[in-house]
Amino acid sequence: MSFNAPRILPAMTVLTLTAGLALVFFFAPNDADQGFIQKIFYLHVPIAICALVGFIVAAVQAIMHLRTGESSWDVRSYVSIHISVILGVAVLITGSIWARASWGKWFVWDEPTLVSFLIVFLLYCTYYPLRYAIEDRERQARYASVFAVTAGAFVPLNFIAVRLAETLVHPRVFATAEGGLTPKMTVTFLVCLAGMALLWLTLARFELAAKSTRARLGRLRRALEGDEVAVGASRIAPVPRQAEEAG
């Protein structure tokens, strides 16, 4: 993967997201309960879904890394988590704004998906200090994969637990997220979801391309100069092992 790879993915992303945006403001009707504020739903929920699926994808890639030992899987897993954490920030910000608009508070414990997401986000934030704390590259990659698998198993459990905790005490707040979607709303939502998924893929590809280019530069530099590490090489960005050169 390089920066010169076919442009169709970014193009599709732009098209779908723009179409989604247009649908949100020109096609989808206003929600009966929440009014115009409900439009945030088309932004917040797709990003949340993509981030969570991204974490599961990272877990699968981590399993592949553990099974095959090829660090290219570790790179993919790292990038998946990285992109999902970035989207996670967006989820928390948009969710907070939605909570403020609906309830006057910047965070509501009544909304189980928001709370679950906060917990998952906090967990995946620990991925970075974990990688920093292990110096041996190979071990770092392996332990990071173990973490990604464990955290991936944790995500569904966490959602079940939080949902049970909240629904026993409070009624669901953002009920439009579940049912009560008219067909027009559903179409809009699906288009936005597709757009966000494509965005996730595009960002992931950019990250992978950046890493690969940096890696190639490092190799070039070593071939020319023979010693120095490339400027700004990260201690935690995964690096493939020498043994895979043959494989």
Partner 1 sequence: MSAFRAVLAKDLRTELRTLESVPAMALFAATTFVLFRFGLDRTTLEGALAAGVLLATVLFAAILAINRVFVAEREQGGFDVIRLSPVDGASLYAAKVCVLAIYLGALELIAVPVFAVLFSVEAGGLPALAAMLLLANIGLAAVGALVSSIAVNSRARDLIAPLLLLPLLVPVMIAAAGAAEPLLAAGGPSYADFGQWMGILALYDLVFIAVGYAVYDFLLED
Partner 2 sequence: MPALPLDEAGKYVAGAYVAFLALLLLYVAIMAARIQRIDRELAELAEIAEKRSDRPAAGPDGADAGAEENARGEAEGQVFEAGAEQPSGGIR
Q: Residue 218 in contact with residue 239, Cβ under 8 Å? A: no
Among 55, 73, 147, 189, binds partner 1 (CB under 8 A): 147
Helix (H, G, I), strand (E, B) or coil at 30: coil
Q: What is the DSSP-derived secondary structure letter of residue 34?
A: T
Q: How many CB atoms lie within 10 A of CB 108?
A: 20
User: Dihedral of the CA atoms 49, 76, 153, 110 (nearest 10)?
Assistant: -30
- Nearest of 234, 241, 110 to residue 177 by alpha carbon: 110
135 binds, among partner 1, partner 2, none (CB under 5 to 8 A by kind): partner 1
Using CB under 8 A as the binding criterion, the count of chain residues that bind partner 2 stands at: 71
Question: Is residue 62 a contact point for partner 2 (CB under 8 A)?
Answer: no
35 interface partner picked from partner 2, partner 1, none, CB below 5 to 8 A per type: partner 2
Sole binder of partner 1 in the list 129, 179, 226, 247 (CB under 8 A): 129
Choice from 14, 56, 63, 100 touching partner 2 (CB under 8 A): 100
Report in angstroms how near the CB of residue 108 gets to partner 1 at its nearest: 17
User: In this chain, which stretch among 46-54, 151-159, 176-184, 228-236 interacts with partner 1, using CB under 8 A?
Assistant: 151-159
Contact positions with partner 1 (CB under 8 A) in 56-95: 66
Enclosing H/E stretch for 12:
helix 8-26
Q: Does 139 bind partner 1 (CB under 8 A)?
A: yes
In 69-182, alpha helices (H): 71-103, 112-125, 127-133, 137-169
Computed from CA positions of residues 35, 160, 92, 238, in that sequence, does the dihedral angle turn out positive or negative?
negative
| Binding partner of residue 201 among partner 1, partner 2, none, CB cut-off 5 to 8 Å per kind | partner 2
Interaction site with partner 1 (CB under 8 A): 66, 119-120, 122-123, 126, 129-130, 133-135, 139, 142-143, 145-147, 149-151, 153-154, 157-158, 160-162, 164-165, 168
